[in-house]
């Protein structure tokens, strides 16, 4: 079961890191970025 886009949005919203936070789908799951650098992966 893969992570839903809504879960990733929720994580980014709760992190409160401003506009430099983004995510991209990678390897079937998501990588979370801060200012263009990978800082975490969300894997279920």
Q: Please list the rounded mean pLDDT of every run of 10 residues in the chain (44 residues).
A: 84 86 89 91 82
Taking the CA atoms of 12, 34, 4 and 2 in sequence, report the sign of the dihedral they define.
negative
Taking the CA of residue 38 as centre, how many other CA atoms within 13 Å lie in the half-sphere pointing to its CB?
8
Model pLDDT, residue 27:
83
Number of H helices, E strands in the chain: 1, 3
**pTM for the full predicted model:** 0.76
Check: CB of residue 21 under 8 Å from CB of residue 13: no
């Amino acid at each position: 079961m893969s992570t839903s886009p809504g879960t990733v949005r929720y994580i980014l919203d709760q992190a409160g890191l401003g506009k430099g936070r983004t995510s991209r789908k990678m390897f079937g799951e998501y990588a979370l970025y801060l200012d263009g650098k990978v800082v975490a992966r969300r894997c279920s």
